[in-house]
Each structure stands twice: as C-alpha cells, then as structure tokens.
Structure 1
Amino acid sequence: MRILVYPHDLGIGGSQLNAVELAAAVQRLGHEVIVFGRPGPLNQRIEELGLEFIPSPEPHRRPTPSVVKALVRVARERKIDIIHGYEWPPALESLIASRRSPGTAAVATVMSMAVAPFIPKSMPILVGTQEILTAEQEFGRTLAALLEPPVDLDANNPSLDVAEQEFRGKWGLDPAAYTVVLVTRLAKELKLEGILAAIDCTGMLSQELPIQLVIAGDGPARRLVENHARAVNAARGRPVIVLTGELEDPRAAYAVADVALGMGGSALRAMAFAKPLIVQGEKGFWEVLTPDSLPLFLEQGWYGVGPGTQDGPGRLAQLLRGLLLDESCRKTLGSFGLSTVQGRFSLTRGALVLENFYSLASEAAGEVSIVQEAGALARFVEYELARRLRGVLGSSPADDFNSRPVAWRRQAGPELEAGTTRQASP
C-alpha cells in the first residue's frame, strides 16, 4: 500500500510522535509511507527514521482549502491508497481530499481524550482507549477500532546510554535527592491542574525528604507553571522544582527518575525505562500503576478523574512518600511497568494493528453515507458558531476536545453525559 500520514503538527507531542514512529514501523512492514505536514521539530525524527516528507501549505481556518488541494495533488501523483489524518483538522482535510481522489481512502486517528462529533460516522477511525472506543461505537461509528499509544522499545529502554550524568549536571540536580520526573506539555486543558499539584506536593515533601521535581515541557501555561515553581523554590530556599523547557530528546529525563509522573504516551515511555509510575489525571486523581490498577488504565487510558481538586497535592504526597521510602517496591513496580509495555504497547504491535485497519478501510472506501456526512456538517457548523461565541466572550479553551474527556463525562453521571457527550465543549 501507499500511505500518506498527516499529523496535526510536527511539534513535540504524543499524538504526532506516535504518528511518525508508527509511519516508520508500517514502512518496515513493506509499505510505501510518506509524511505530510507543517515542518517542525519532529522533522529531525522523520529524517532519522528514513521517511519521505512533503511540506504542507500553512493552514488557517480548518479545514483549509489550500491544504486539501495539496493533499489531492499528492494523492493523485503518488497514487496514494490511504490518507491518514491524526486529530480532527487533518482528519477532515484527509476525508475531503479522498473524495476528490479516486481509489484513495481516508482514515482518522484521534488520541485526544474525546472525539470531535463532526468527524462523519462513516469515516474509519482509531482511538486510544477502550472507553472512548465504546463511546464512539455507541455513537454509531461504522468502522472504529482501538490503537493504544505505542512505544518504540528500541529507542526507549533501560539499557540505553542516554547521557544521564550530563543531564544531571546541566540542570543542577542533587545526586543525593530523590528525583521525581514529569514530562508533559504545559497545557491548561487536561494537564495544568496536575502540574501545579505536583509542584505543591514537592514543596510539602521537601520539608521531610530530600526531593526534587523535574518538569520537562513547554506550552501555553508555561508562565503560570514558572511562577508557581518560583514561589515554591523561594519558600524552600533552594531549587526543589527544576523546569527544563521542551526537550527534543526527553529520554535522559525519564532515565534519571526515581519515580515518574505522567499520563498518556508520556506514562508509557516512563514505563519503558522501568520506572515506577504514578498516573496523573484531573480533579485530584493520582494512582500508582500496580497489577491491581492496570485494568483501570487499560479501560480508560493512562488518565483518570478523582473526587475533587482540593486534596490533589495531599493524595500525591501520600503515594510518593510510600514509593520513595521503599526501594524494593520501586524496583518491582518498575519491572512490572516495563513488562506491561513490552507485552502490549510495542511499536511493532501497533504497526500490525494499523496495517490490518488500512485494509479494512480500503475495502469500505466506497461506502459513503450522504445522510451521515450531512449530519456531521451540521454538527461542525454548530461547533464553529459556538467556538466563535466563546471567543467573543473570552471563554474558549485552547484544546476543547481535551477539555471535557469521555472519562470525566462518564463519571459525572448519565444525565450530564447525555447532555454533553456530543457537544464540542462545555
């Protein structure tokens, strides 16, 4: 097959890194794979993996006509079988382009915590958790499947030399202190609550334990995080919170951790380095990965929703205290995490899932539902009108399909879920 992979951008992030690494893994299965998109930091990874890259026109209002036109041109010239768009804007642009390219099918992958309701039900779609898959099947998706975020175990494993000592020296880490690591995007939706809770928790624990928290990442909430970290460091009189900014290669950060915090793909990469993991969520959710908690994460993804935000730092402090003071437990749980990733989340397994799904999508390519696509268009118009209104009112979230995750809605109860599951955002 000839496949055109279109990530939503090529900055450092979980969905787009998955897109690029899976593209290379599918290419290794014998297919011709091209990556299409706006140039960014991940272009270096694309080159390392031996993938061809075609730059996209600059997108503006989505879907962008010039991007669709470029996709159509590539699909026709290169006789593309599958255009694979990651997240909703590339998904819609890929679908429109496929309609104008005979013999080409479109596939979507959504790794956000909820799926945009205006992606037509007839478009083949892959999602990252069983819980979201169930919700999409209930919504009436014609062809939907599970693609759990994979990990490149050749590039992420405990035996690698990733220059840990150089990393410690560069960031002034205390070799005698316990090191807790959080590799994350500094986003207001989904992430910020947990990041601030981790900072507060470290400030509390530093009064009784030698501890330092390393936060690796960047994003729109950077100033809020910096101010919070600065206040805690000032109160403690030493740098217990270390902010590295975005790291093109965060593997050394995972490697130096005594305990890792995280959600989604970041959590899985920490597990690949055999680190004990505390999964981050929202509304005060923190939970250690153990054999008992694993079924929860396999169902709803590496994320959770707690009872409220007020005791998030206290809950995390309780869990960290227990892990940091028990080296044997840390080693056991780290080994368990590594074996879990090796058995279920390998890049090779993900590529085989994709290969099979591409075949199913190609077979179903002629099954177009005008009614379903008209309904999707109506939902998109509703979304755009609501988004513009929120923009005028100053209440529009930067990432609205992570602002009301499926797990959050389902926990909130049937009445709230029925009223919000298929709306763009609160």
Structure 2
Amino acid sequence: MKLLVFAQRLDPDESQMNAIALADRLRETHGYDIVLHATDGPAAQMVRDRGFRFVPAPDVTYHPAPQRMAALRRLVRGEGPDVIHAWDGWQGLEAYYAVHLRLGVPLLISDLNADVTRYLPRNVPTTFGCAALAEAAAELGWRFPMTLPMPVDTRTNAAEAVNGAGFRSRYGMKDGDVMIAAVAERPDASASGGTIRAIEAIRTLGQNLPLKLVLLGESDTDVNLRARVDAANRHLYREAVILTGAMPDPREAYAAADIVVGTGGSALRGLAFGKPLVVVGAAGFAATFTPQTAPGFLRSGMRGTGEGRFGGSAMLDALRPLAQRPQLRAQLGAFGRDFVVENHDFGRVAAQLAACCNAAKSGAASRMGDLVDAARTAFYVLRERRFRVAARTTVPGR
C-alpha cells in the first residue's frame, strides 16, 4: 500500500516523532510505501535517515491554509497514494477539502486531542487515542471511529537504556531517597493541576519520609510555580522539590525515579521504565496504576476525572504506600512495564494503524453523506472561528 502521511511541522516533539516512527514501522514491518508531507523542521533529517521520502509542505501562519491544500493536491496527483493518513485535526481538514472530496482519495484522520474534536468530518474514518474517545465519537455521530493507542518505544524507553544513577548523582540524591518524577505543568488559579497537588503532598509526606519531587520541563521559569517550590522547600528545611528546566530527553529522569506522577504520554513513559505510577487528572483526580485500575486507564487513555475536591487527599493516599513500601513499588513497576509492552509498543500500535489504513482504503462513504458532512464541518469551523495559528516553537518530547 502507498501511504501519504500528512503531518504538521517536523519539530522534535512527541507527536511528530510518533508520526515518523509509526510510518517507519509500517514501511519495515508491513511493506508500505511511505511518503511524508509536512512543513520542514529539525526532524526532517531523521525522516531521510529512515529511508522514506519527505516532500516539504508550505510554511504557513494559519490553518486550514489554501497553500497547503494546493500543495497536497499536486502531490496526490503526482504520487497516487492509496490512502492519506492525516496526523491530527488541522491536517485532517486540509486533506478532507483538498483531496478527499475533490479527488475521492481515501482518507484516515488521527484525532490526537484529549477530547473529540467536534469540527472534524464525521463521515471519514477517524482514530482516537483510547476506547472512551472512540465511543464518545460514535455517540456524536462519527460513522467510522477507531481506537489507536498512544505508541511507546519500549526499547529506548527502558531502565537499562539510559543512566539513571548519573541523574540521581547530579541532583544530589542520597541512598534511601525516594525520587518522584513528574512533568511540570503551569499552575492555574484553581491549583487543581497534578503538579500543584504533588508539591503539596511532598510538603506533608516529606516531614517523615525522605522524598524528592523532581519536576521536569520548561515551567521552571513560571514565577508562581517557583514560589510554590520555594515555599515547600522552606517548610521542610531542605531541597525536597527540584525544578530541572527544559529537558529535550527526560529518559534519565524516568530511569532514576522510584515513582512517576503523570497523565497520558508521561504516564505511559513512566510505566515503560518499570516505575510505579500515580495517574493524575482533572478535579483532584489521583489514583495508583494497579492490576485492578489498569483496564479503566487503558480505556480512558491514562486519564481520569475526580469529584471536584481540589485538596491533596487523593494524591496523599496514592503516594504514601508507594513511598513506604519498596516491594510494592517493584511489583507495580514490573506490572506496568508488561502492560505498556502488551498494549502500547510501537510494533503493536503500528499493526493497529495498518488495520485502520486498510479499513479506510476499503470503506465507501456515500457521496451524499460526504456533501452533508462537508457542509456541517464548514459550519462548525466558521461558527467557532477555528483557524489555528501555526506553531513555530519546538516542544520538548516528554
């Protein structure tokens, strides 16, 4: 099968890296002929190194963009792909109006958002990151919703792949310190984010336990977050909370951690390193990843919603036993690693993507359904003024 992968900008962020890696697996394992079409960026050389064609898309300041649509149409006419895989919603819109409606080329859209993107066409095969989103899309009228879990490279995201001991040494970890790794989020006014609740939990538990909370990412420049970190450290009379700053490759931190706090992709990465996990979410949600909770998290995409209690009680209840019981950490870490390999490994997800591409190629939506769907989609986009300003910054992979 000849597959044209239509992505955004080839920056080295997690989303674009997943698009490249999955395309590579389809080529290597399933024999696909891959053409990648995206705005040029730092990751373009990685595409070329992997041996499939890269055709740059125009650099634009907003989406959907007529220039990108025209370039895609020319490319499709020249290449004759069997299927176009639009990686995320804006590429989906551009491919839908540029080539699917006009030329009848089969289209597969991957909606990468944490919620169903309602302005996307409902008559086009669309993948969602978890079963709960696919079910929600079906209820909203999507005719061909499918599940495509977030992929994880379980070879490079593994404890033995990087030097966790070196990270602990650089940040002054002592023998017996229990390190908790979390991606730093920007705090909001409600202080409901997982980062804030993790800091508050350390203020409490750190009085009796040798805990170190390491916050990964660029939010170290946020004044409010820095103030909370400083207050927690003053309260405990030691550096119990550490801000690392930007980390383009945070794998050493995950390898060094004893516990990971996260959601979505960061949660899966922690599990891939064999670490016990506390999944955080909206409205005060926090729960330990266990054999009992795993099916629900698989269905929800490693996310959760609490009951609106914004205190840290759920976080405390999850962290306390993990901090106190090394054997429990080892057991849950081993279980989590097996879970990721079984459900999210790149090879397994690529096989699911191949099935989705085959379904898109063989599916036949009615012409009338396409026309009605096109009108509905245009109405939603125009009504909500859903014109995306193209990102021009590089986001570190998590």
TM range, smaller chain: 0.7 to 0.9
Aligned equivalents of 1:114, 1:367: Cα separation in 2:
27
Maintained 8 Å contact 1:41/1:248:
no
- State the partner residue of 2:195: 195
- The answer to whether the aligner puts 1:111 opposite 2:112 as a matched pair is yes
Q: Which shows bigger deviation, 335-344 or 231-240?
A: 231-240
| Residues 46 and 66 of structure 1, relative CA distance in 2, 3 Å threshold | same
CA RMSD of aligned residues (A): 2.9
Task: Output the CA distance in 2 between the equivalents of 1:158 and 1:338.
Answer: 10
Provide the residue aligned with 1:341 in structure 2.
340
Residue 129 of structure 1: how far off its partner (Å): 1.4
Letter in 2 for 1:75: V
Q: Deviations over 1:119-150 (max 9, x none)?
A: 11112100011111111111221211011112
Q: Structure 1: how far apart are the matches of 2:108 and 2:176?
A: 50
CA contact (8 A) 1:13 1:185 kept: no
1:304 positional shift? 0.4
Change (3 A) 1:240 1:47: farther
Conservation of the 8 A alpha-carbon contact between 2:180 and 2:211? yes
Q: Distance in 1 between matches of 2:215 and 2:119?
A: 35
State whether residues 108 and 124 of structure 1, in contact with CA within 8 Å, keep that contact through their aligned partners in structure 2.
Answer: yes
- Extract unaligned runs of 5+ from structure 1: 389-426
1:83 aligns with 2:97: no
- Quote the Cα distance in structure 1 between the aligned partners of 2:42 and 2:211: 32
Stretch of structure 1 that moved more, 314-323 or 361-370: 361-370
Q: Name the counterpart of 1:123.
A: 124
Q: Which amino acid aligns with 1:358?
A: C
Is 1:134 matched with 2:140? no
Provide closer, same or farther for how the CA distance between residues 219 and 43 of structure 1 changes in structure 2, counting only shifts above 3 A.
farther
Quick check: 1:37 aligned with 2:38?
yes
| Distance change in 2, residues 1:40/1:134 (3 Å) | same
Q: Does 1:65 align with 2:62?
A: no
Distance 1:299 1:251 in 2: 26
Counterpart-to-counterpart distance in 2, 1:3 and 1:225: 44
Quote the Cα distance in structure 2 between the aligned partners of 1:71 and 1:387. 18
CA-to-partner distance for each residue in 1:212-243, whole Å, 9 max, x for gaps? 11122236994443343233234434322222
Query: Are 1:155 and 2:164 an aligned pair?
Result: no
Query: What displacement does 1:35 show?
Result: 3.1
Secondary structure at 1:7's aligned position in 2? strand
Unmatched runs of 5 consecutive residues or more in structure 2: 390-398
CA distance in 2, matches of 1:16, 1:185: 21
Identity %: 30
2:192·2:310 contact (CA, 8 Å) conserved in 1? Answer: no
User: Which AA in structure 2 matches 1:376?
Assistant: T
- The 3-state SS of whatever aligns with 2:267 is helix
Question: Is the contact made by 1:283 and 1:309 (CA closer than 8 Å) also made in structure 2?
Answer: yes
Q: 52-61 vs 373-382, which deviates more?
A: 52-61
Deviation at residue 249 of structure 1 after TM alignment: 1.9
Q: CA deviation at 1:50?
A: 4.5
Quick one: distance in 2 between partners of 1:255 and 1:191? 28
Query: Is the counterpart of residue 301 in structure 1 residue 301 in structure 2?
Result: yes
